[in-house]
Structure 1
């Protein structure tokens, strides 16, 4: 198994760049431009994942999912949450039917 700690290392890099110069840091620029910019990047990367999947190109799918995950980490940083928050939610859902979990949601 590969090193899942990469998510935490990326999170640390993203946190470290929150206050960096937007002229020299892509992460700082995204965060400076705000949530709408980050959401547009996530929408763009999501579409690229879909297209890569339709092409049946596994390496392209992997690259695009990596881009999507990275931008999702930036969004989490924007909201001052991190991978543990998402992992805890997945842990909470573990063993629960997807249909039951969805029916139990308030929103």
Structure 2
């Protein structure tokens, strides 16, 4: 990987993308030094044109962007980085600096994780976690029963509603047991797809 720093005053335009949800998170700029530090540290560094200095994304908030892969465009002067975001990306507190209406199961999983890590009084997620495993499993069982009844009754809207409730409670249960959606996806890939071993270090050696 050989970025072309001869253009744009020695800067690369950089897009960050969530590796799990594929949501576009932000745009920033890197000079050569920021690019090299990003490769070395496995977290994203930018160059601030207004402050004229390097800065690590998340250096104040702690919401660093863990690098998964990097890809140059055809002109070698723009960079796409897939990341694991450790918290909201935008300084305003939203997940993305662009449209924050993006939703996926990974988005819901992240919301559940945030509710557990930063509990708020009155939060239903906090209530379930405080009650413990038996309560969480009981709710999963109840919601599964409701899904079965809705399917049996051929009630499409009720089936959608109850399945949504079930998926939420299952995500709480998985998180409580230390299991992530990625763990489940990896197992499904192993069963149904071509499983390829991957290491971020392998990519770094190619950069």
Quickly name the TM-score band, shorter chain normalised. 0.7 to 0.9
Could you state the TM-score of these two structures normalised by the residue count of structure 1?
Answer: 0.78
Gaps of 5+ in 2: 1-22, 24-101, 194-207
> What is the Cα deviation at residue 92 of structure 1?
1.2
Taking the TM superposition and a 5 Å limit, the aligned residue runs for 1:62-73 are 62-73=160-171
Question: Secondary structure at the residue paired with 1:85?
Answer: helix
Could you state the TM-score of these two structures normalised by the residue count of structure 2?
Answer: 0.42
Higher relative contact order (CA closer than 8 Å, sequence separation 6+): 1
> What is the Cα deviation at residue 5 of structure 1?
5.4
Residue 79 of structure 1 is matched in structure 2 by: 177
Gaps of 5+ in 1: 96-107
> Relative to total residues, which structure has the larger strand share, 1 or 2?
2
> Relative to total residues, which structure has the larger helix share, 1 or 2?
1
Aligned partners of 1:46 and 1:13: how far apart in 2?
22
Give the paired residue count: 92
* RMSD across aligned positions (CA): 1.9
Taking the TM superposition and a 5 Å limit, the aligned residue runs for 1:1-107 are 6-18=104-116, 19-21=118-120, 23-94=121-192
Deviating 4+ runs (over 4 angstroms):
none
